[in-house]
Amino acid sequence: MAHPSRHTDLPALTDEEILDIARNTLAKEAEALQQMITYLDDGFIQSVRLIASCSGKVVITGIGKSAIIAQKIVATFNSTGTPAIFMHAADAIHGDLGMIQPEDVVIMLSKSGESPEIKVLLPLIKNFHTPVIAIVGNMQSSLARQADFVLNTTVSQEACPNNLAPTSSTTAQLAMGDALATALIRLKGFSAEDFAKFHPGGTLGKKLYLRVRDLSVHNAKPCVSPDSSIREVILEMTGGRLGITAVVHQDQLVGVITDGDLRRMMEKYEQFQQLRARDVMTIHPKTIHRDALAVEALQLMRQHNITQVVVLDSNGHYDGIIHLHDLIREGLI
C-alpha cells in the first residue's frame, strides 16, 4: 500500500511568492535595525566604557535563542581583544555561577526580560556585586528594571509570518553585540595587526600576517648580469622555474627578463646568439619590499596583470622573487 505524500497538504507557492516572503523577512529585519539606531543613548556609551575598563572578563548569558546569540557575541569579543566567556542561564544556577568574579562584567540577553531562568539568575549575579548590562527587548521587564545598564533591542514584530519564531529580535540582539564590539575596537585601538594575532589560521589570518619574505625565501633567486648571453639567461630561468630572472649590476637591480620577453625577442630577431641580457630585459620592473604583506604583492600582480614581482631588501638590493603560485598555495586567492 502506497503511503500518501507528507507534502500533499502544503500550500502551493509560486516562485515569486517564495521570493516575496524572503524580501518581506529581510525588510522587516532591516526595519528593526533602523529602529534600534534611535534607541542608542547614554546607556550604550556607559556600557562600552565599562567593558573597556573591565580588569576581568565579560560573561555573556542567555536562554534559548538568546543563548545562541550570546555565544556569537562571545566569539566576536574574543577575536577583537575583549576577553569573554559564555554562561548558559539554565546551567548557571547549577554551579556555573562560579565562573563569575567581582572584576567581571555580565551581559544578559533576553527578548522578554521575564524568562524564569533570567529572573532567578539576575539577583544571584547581583550578589557578586558584578555590574550587569541587559540587552533586552522589553523595557518594562524585570531584567530592564534591575540591570545597571540597558541596551534596548525592542522590535515591533518578528519577521516570522506567525510573529512567533525569534527572527527580528535575535537579529537585533546580534547587531547590538556587533555595535558593542566595534565601538570597543576603536576605543581600545585594536589594530589589524592585533586581529592577526588572534586569527593565525585560515585565509583571513594569512592576509593579515603573512609577509612577502615568508614566501620568497623558499624560491630560487635567478640572477644574471647585463652582459649575460641569451643561453645563460635561458638556463638561469629554467633552473629557477619561476619564468623570470633578475638582471643585476653591482648589486643593483637594473631589469628583469621574463618568458614574455624571450617570446618577444624571438618574434623580433631571426638570430639572437649575439644578444645580451641588456638587449631584451624590461627596465623598471615592479618590485616590492620583503617585509610587505603578501596580500600587497597579490594586489600589485592584479593591478599590472603580472604573475611575478621582484623582492627587494631594505637597501634596495635584489632579494628574490614572489610568484602568483606562492599566493595560490597559501590560499590567498
Spatial contact of 138 and 113, defined as CB atoms under 8 Å apart:
yes
DSSP per-residue letters across 195-215 = HHHH--SHHHHHHHH-BHHHH
Q: Which residues are annotated as a binding site?
A: 88
Show Cβ contacts of residue 176 under 8 Å, excluding neighbours closer than 6 positions.
Answer: 36, 135, 151, 153
CATH code of 209-330, in short, is 3.10.580.10
Using the structure block, give the residue that is written with the C-alpha cell 522590535. Answer: 155
d(CA 83, CA 89): 19
209-330 and 21-190 share a CATH fold: no
How far, in whole angstroms, is CA 91 from its chain's centroid? 31
- Sheet of strand 105-110: strand arrangement: 84-88, 58-62, 105-110, 132-136, 149-152
How far, in whole angstroms, is CA 143 from its chain's centroid? 33
Give this prediction's pTM.
0.70
**Which class is 21-190 in CATH?**
alpha beta
- % of the chain beyond a pLDDT of 90: 82
* Beta partners for residue 312, in sequence order: 289, 318
* Beta partners for residue 253, in sequence order: 248
How far, in whole angstroms, is CA 280 from its chain's centroid? 44
- The ranges assigned to domains in the chain are 21-190, 209-330
Give pLDDT tens digits for 157-206: 999 989 999 999 999 999 999 999 999 999 999 887 777 777 666 677 77
In this predicted structure, what is the pLDDT of residue 110?
A: 97
Q: Which residues are annotated as a binding site for Zn(2+)?
A: 88
Strand ranges in 116-241 using DSSP code E only, listed in sequence order: 132-136, 149-152, 223-224
- DSSP character for 123? H
Angle between helices 168-188 and 15-39 (to 10 degrees): 50
Per-residue pLDDT of the chain (333 residues), as tens digits, is: 445 445 556 778 999 999 999 999 999 999 999 999 999 999 999 999 999 999 999 999 999 999 999 999 999 999 899 999 999 999 998 888 989 998 999 999 999 999 999 999 999 999 889 999 999 999 999 999 999 999 999 999 999 989 999 999 999 999 999 999 999 999 999 887 777 777 666 677 778 788 999 999 999 999 999 999 999 999 999 998 899 999 999 989 999 999 999 999 999 998 888 999 999 999 999 999 999 999 999 999 999 999 999 999 999 999 999 999 999 998 888
Mean pLDDT, the chain, rounded, equals 92
